[in-house]
Structures are given as structure tokens and as C-alpha cells.
């Protein structure tokens, strides 16, 4: 373990949420170890403003709940405490321990056939917890007791070198939680870092493990990947590591070797457009992204239905919307509130095409498009 004293790191309490500090101080006062950990510490060390603050502690979830009246316990796979301060939620996790071979208590530890952790409620020490985290740069612990940063896995050096490195054996860790492959790509794009060779090597051949991840979780991950201001760079990495196909299997069949198909040009354009809006502090809506990405599959399906059934194109188009969205939701559980708006956007595009003749996707340039979203209260 390396202990970095206050004078050798950039973290200051003034940059930490007051509510996170309240949680840390109360846990310490009650006799528990408690640290700020994860992306919040990483971002503070990089001079960035954290999106949220996570706490890890020696207190069990039930012990945390007894200390905070504004607390609720969530999750079965990972039991967590959420301490709520109005709109801000401070997530508090108990130090994770190691899983022993033959562990039989399914309420605390359970693995699937592919090695995926289905239950992870084995508690341990801070040293155990550091080894159980995903990447070295996310395994740094800040103490409000002495203002030090504790580094058990070389995270400070990797942060300095700009390296995304998985802790432990990469294949084992990816099998425990395949979403770690997506996180590696997301952090590389977000932080402009490179993935270490040993962390990157297994990803393309293990990408099919993503099929074992619940679609609802993949939807949330897709938003983090593509709607956080670095979507285009993330998309390029997803394709490089064979991770785009498990997320959007109906889209990849339109890709070409030269990467310049109409489908690929649409994706590049819509992601760059979304990134620009985020960088200009403008709101974005995932319905716009999904409507654009599934436009060509929709046109193909509508034409097929019209030819095979003899239905009018408008009716075939309506049936095609159902089929395309149903297929998309098998890999990503896109909520109904979003699919409903996707349908509205598609129907608007169909009306525009009728007036202006059939053409490639022009929704983003059309002034009526953003106006339509504004009327729904989703963009400005």
C-alpha cells in the first residue's frame, strides 16, 4: 500500500459534496472506517468535477441504515445503502471480500455458468475491497480523517500514465461482470486514456458474454457510452473491440469493410451532433439517437412488409416500427417513454419524405425536427 499525504495530491474538501462529507464524518464518528472512493476520487485527482461521490466503509448495509434515517437499501446482486439528501444520493458500499471456492450461501455469493457473479455480498477489509474493484484508477481511497489517499494497486501511477488497467486476471474479471468491457472502453474515451494490452487483449473474444447481461442494464450502459459527450470516440472503440454488435445486432449487418456505408455515416453524424450539443450545454434525448440509428432497418423492414403483404406503404411502415423496436429491445430494454417518442420522430420523417421526395436521412438538418422535440418538452 502507498499512502499519499495531503501535500502530494490535489484533493481538497472544498471540492467534495457537503453531503458526502457528512456521511464520511458520521461513519467515522460511529467507529467505522469510511473513505471516498471510485470515480469521484479519480476525477478530483485529474482536476475534473465529479458527477457524484461514492463512499465505501467497514459498516454493513444494515449498520449504515441505522446511522442514517434518510437511508434505503437497494440491490440484490450488490447490496448498497443510498443516503438521500433531496435530489443528491450518496451511495455507500461495504468493503467487498473475496469469494471462496465452494461458497454455498446463495444469498451472499452466487456465480452463473460463465463465471458471472449473480450475488456479491461477501464483505471484507479495505485491502480486499481494493482488489475487488474493476480498474486501478478507480481503486483509490480518500480519507477525511487524515486527508490522505490510499493506493493498494498502483492506481496513482496508471492515472499519471493515462492507462486503463483491470485489477486481477482480465478474463476472470470480465466473466464475473461482462459490463467491465464496456466500462474499459467508456473510460478510455472519456478520459482520453489507453487500455493496457493485457486488459484489452481478451475483450474481442469475450464480447459475446454481453449477451448474458440483462437488457435493462445494457440500455443504461448504452446511454453512458453514447450520450455523455464522447459518443463518437466511444463508438469507434466499441467497434474496434467487437462490442457494438452485442448492443445493436440489427444495425451491424449494414456495416461495410470500408466503414463508409449510409448506416455508418448516419451513426457518425448523429453521435457527433449529440456530442456537440452536450459540449454546448444543450439537452439531448436518447429518442433522437435511437430514431436515427434504427432508421435504415426500419426502411428495409417497411419495404419488405409492403412487398410481401400488399399493404399500403404507410400501413407497412407502422407494422415495421413495431418489429424494429421489438427486435431492438431484445438486446436493449428501451423504455416505452423513449420508444413512443422514437415512433413520433419516425412518423414525422415519413411525412417530410412524402412532401419532399424520398431521400437519405435529413432529420437533423430540418428545422421542424427540433421544433417537434421542443413541443414534446425534450430539447431546447
Q: For 37-73, b where at least 16 C-beta lie within 10 A, e where not — what string?
A: bbbbbbbbbeeeebeebbbbbbbbbebbbebbeebee
Of 220, 247, 274, which closes a domain? Answer: 247
> Same domain for 224 and 269?
no
Residues 215, 181 share a domain: yes
The one catalytic residue in 52, 128, 212, 344 is: 52
Q: How confident is the model at residue 100 (pLDDT cuts 50, 70, 90)?
A: low
pLDDT by residue (tens digit) across 13-27? Answer: 999 999 999 999 999
Q: Do 227 and 338 sit in the same domain of this protein?
A: no
Of 100, 131, 161, the position where a domain reaches its end is 161
- Alpha-carbon dihedral 14, 19, 21, 24, rounded to 10 degrees: -170
Instruction: Kindly state the average pLDDT of the residues 193-200.
Output: 98
- Domain limit, last residue, from 188, 216, 247: 247
pLDDT at 15: 95
pLDDT tens for 119-167 read 456 889 999 999 999 999 999 999 999 999 999 999 999 999 999 999 9
Sole residue written with cell 455507500: 92
Q: What is the pLDDT of residue 257?
A: 87
Q: Which of 73-82, 143-152, 222-231, 242-251 has the lowest mean pLDDT?
A: 73-82
251 Cβ contact list (under 8 Å, min separation 6): 244, 263, 267, 293, 294, 296, 297
Same domain assignment for residues 11 and 124: yes
Given 43, 120, 129, 134, which residue is catalytic? 134
Residue 328 near residue 250 (C-beta atoms within 8 A) = yes
Any catalytic annotation for residue 129? no
**134 given a catalytic annotation:** yes
- Averaged pLDDT score across all residues of the chain: 88
Classify burial at 147, counting beta carbons within 10 Å of its beta carbon; exposed 0-12, middle 13-18, buried 19 or more. middle
User: Are 344 and 337 contacting, i.e. CB atoms less than 8 angstroms apart?
Assistant: no
User: Based on the domain organization, do 254 and 362 belong to the same domain?
Assistant: yes
Kindly tell me the number of DSSP H helices and DSSP E strands found in the chain. Answer: 19, 12
What's the rounded Cα separation, in Å, for the pair 163 and 153?
A: 13
- CATH number, residue 145: 3.30.460.10
Q: What is the CATH number of the domain that holds 257?
A: 1.10.3090.10
Q: Does 62 participate in catalysis according to the annotation?
A: no
- Output the pTM of the full model: 0.84
List pLDDT tens digits, range 28-51. 999 999 999 999 999 999 999 999
Please report the pLDDT score of residue 293 as a whole number. 92
Query: Which residue is catalytic, options 54, 120, 129, 158?
Result: 54
Q: Are residues 17 and 96 in the same domain?
A: yes
94 and 219 in a single domain? The answer is: no
Q: Which domain, by its residues, includes 211?
A: 169-247
Identify whether residues 151 and 263 lie together within a single domain.
no
Same domain, 220 and 306: no
Find the CATH number of the domain harbouring 179.
Answer: 1.10.110
Work out how many domains the chain is built from and give that number.
Answer: 3
State pLDDT tens for residues 257-289.
888 888 999 999 999 999 999 999 998 899 999
Asked whether residue 288 falls in the same domain as residue 338, the answer is yes
Residue indicated by cell numbers 422535440? 373
In this structure, are 150 and 182 located in the same domain?
no
| 113 and 22 belong to one structural domain | yes
Q: Is 341 exposed, middle or buried (0-12, 13-18, 19+ CB in 10 A)?
A: buried
Separation CA 367–CA 371 (nearest Å)? 7
Amino acid at each position: 500500500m502507498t499512502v499519499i499525504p495531503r501535500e502530494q495530491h490535489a484533493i481538497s474538501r472544498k471540492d467534495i459534496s457537503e453531503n458526502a462529507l457528512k456521511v464520511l464524518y458520521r461513519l467515522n464518528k460511529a467507529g467505522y472506517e469510511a473513505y471516498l472512493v471510485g470515480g469521484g476520487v479519480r476525477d478530483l485527482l485529474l482536476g475534473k468535477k465529479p458527477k457524484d461521490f461514492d463512499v465505501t466503509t467497514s459498516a454493513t448495509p444494515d449498520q449504515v441504515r441505522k446511522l442514517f434515517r434518510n437511508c434505503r437499501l437497494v440491490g440484490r446482486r450488490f447490496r448498497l445503502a443510498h443516503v438521500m439528501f433531496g435530489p443528491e444520493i450518496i451511495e455507500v458500499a461495504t468493503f467487498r471480500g473475496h469469494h471462496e471456492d465452494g461458497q454455498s450461501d446463495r444469498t451472499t455469493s452466487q456465480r452463473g455458468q460463465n463465471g458471472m457473479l449473480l450475488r456479491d455480498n461477501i464483505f471484507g477489509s479495505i485491502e480486499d475491497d481494493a482488489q475487488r474493484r474493476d480498474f486501478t484508477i478507480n481503486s483509490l481511497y480518500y480519507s477525511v480523517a487524515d486527508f490522505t489517499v490510499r493506493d493498494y494497486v498502483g492506481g496513482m501511477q496508471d492515472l499519471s500514465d493515462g492507462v486503463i488497467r483491470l485489477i486481477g486476471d482480465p478474463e476472470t474479471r470480465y466473466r464475473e461482470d461482462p459490463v467491465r468491457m464496456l466500462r474499459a472502453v467508456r473510460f478510455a474515451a472519456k478520459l482520453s486514456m489507453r487500455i493496457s494490452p493485457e486488459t484489452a487483449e481478451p475483450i474481442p473474444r469475450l464480447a459475446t458474454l454481453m449477451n448474458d447481461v440483462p437488457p435493462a442494464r445494457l440500455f443504461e450502459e448504452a446511454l453512458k457510452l453514447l450520450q455523455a459527450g464522447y459518443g463518437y470516440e466511444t463508438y469507434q472503440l466499441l467497434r474496434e473491440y467487437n462490442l457494438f454488435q452485442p448492443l445493436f445486432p440489427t444495425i451491424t449487418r449494414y456495416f461495410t469493410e470500408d466503414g463508409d456505408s449510409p448506416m455508418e455515416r448516419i451513426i457518425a453524424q448523429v453521435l457527433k451532433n449529440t456530442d456537440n450539443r452536450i459540449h454546448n450545454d444543450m439537452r439531448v434525448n436518447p429518442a433522437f439517437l435511437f430514431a436515427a440509428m434504427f432508421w435504415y432497418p426500419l426502411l428495409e423492414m417497411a419495404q419488405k412488409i409492403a412487398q410481401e403483404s400488399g399493404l399500403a406503404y404507410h400501413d407497412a411502415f407502422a407494422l415495421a416500427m413495431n418489429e424494429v423496436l421489438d427486435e431492438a429491445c431484445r438486446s436493449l430494454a428501451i423504455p416505452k417513454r423513449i420508444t413512443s417518442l422514437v415512433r413520433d420522430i419516425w412518423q414525422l420523417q415519413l411525412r417530410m419524405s412524402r412532401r419532399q421526395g424520398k431521400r437519405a436521412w435529413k432529420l437533423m438538418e430540418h428545422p421542424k425536427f427540433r421544433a417537434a422535440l421542443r413541443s414534446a418538452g425534450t430539447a431546447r
